[in-house]
Structure 1
């Protein structure tokens, strides 16, 4: 699978939700129009949970997290910067974001899922 982004990378983010922590995600936020899948779109596997608003995409061949449509900003993608060939993240500031305390709205939410209930 190959994709390209056409957006300046001036900030990277981490997230403390259970999914991002486990995959050790370091992301750049880009508008929807700035992400173009060049090849292998059929190889993407989608994962959704909780509200179903965020859509997480993984390569079905290798299992790598590629990008996700953001829950808090559904017109943007969070892109895994480790999938950007030749990109050096060392000079870009990193901001921690809070995902663990986002509201859990799933009726069958298990107690291990942090976050306030509605």
Structure 2
């Protein structure tokens, strides 16, 4: 596990997340495909918002179980929050918002979220 720093585009929202980036997915659901997210999932306790919680807005759709978080100023969506089927709190981290991550070295697994 490594500690990664991330932020929205304007920098008002900054966070740290502990993850190994071992499993990164590219989902084809309506929101992920439109926004171009590459996601890794972590326990919610592995994500710490360092600054800008007050600048985060929330969007939900469909079953309203995932809270898609985005900066109200720049619109960048660095992470989402939800629960696993077991009830455990989790976070979906958009790795495109992490600093110093070379995407060319990340193995991405496609996921058919459109069918769920």
Class of the TM-score when normalised by the shorter of the 2 chains: 0.7 to 0.9
Q: Which has the higher strand share?
A: 2
Deviation at 1:71, TM superposition (A): 6.1
Deviation at 1:75, TM superposition (A): 2.1
- Name the residue aligned to 2:103: 89
Measure the CA separation in 1 of the matches of 2:53 and 2:64: 20
- Name the residue aligned to 1:53: 65
Runs of at least 5 residues in structure 1 that lack an aligned partner in the other structure: 103-118
C-alpha distance 98-78 of structure 1, shift in aligned 2 (>3 A): same
Residue 93 of structure 2 is aligned with which of 79, 82, 85?
A: 79
Say which one has the larger Rg.
1
Write out per-residue CA displacement over residues 27-79 of structure 1, whole angstroms, 9 at most, x where no aligned residue.
11111111000000000010001111011001111001111124655622111
Give me the TM-score of the superposition, normalised by structure 1. Answer: 0.79
4+ residue stretches of structure 1 with deviation over 6 A?
A: none
Runs of at least 5 residues in structure 2 that lack an aligned partner in the other structure: 1-12
CA contact (8 A) 2:83 2:89 kept: no
Residue 34 of structure 1 is aligned with which of 46, 50, 58?
A: 46
- Size of the aligned set, in residue pairs, is 102
Measure the CA separation in 1 of the matches of 2:19 and 2:77: 20
Please, what is the CA RMSD of the aligned residues?
Answer: 1.5
Name which structure has the greater RCO, CA cutoff 8 Å, separation 6+. Answer: 2
Give me the TM-score of the superposition, normalised by structure 2. Answer: 0.80
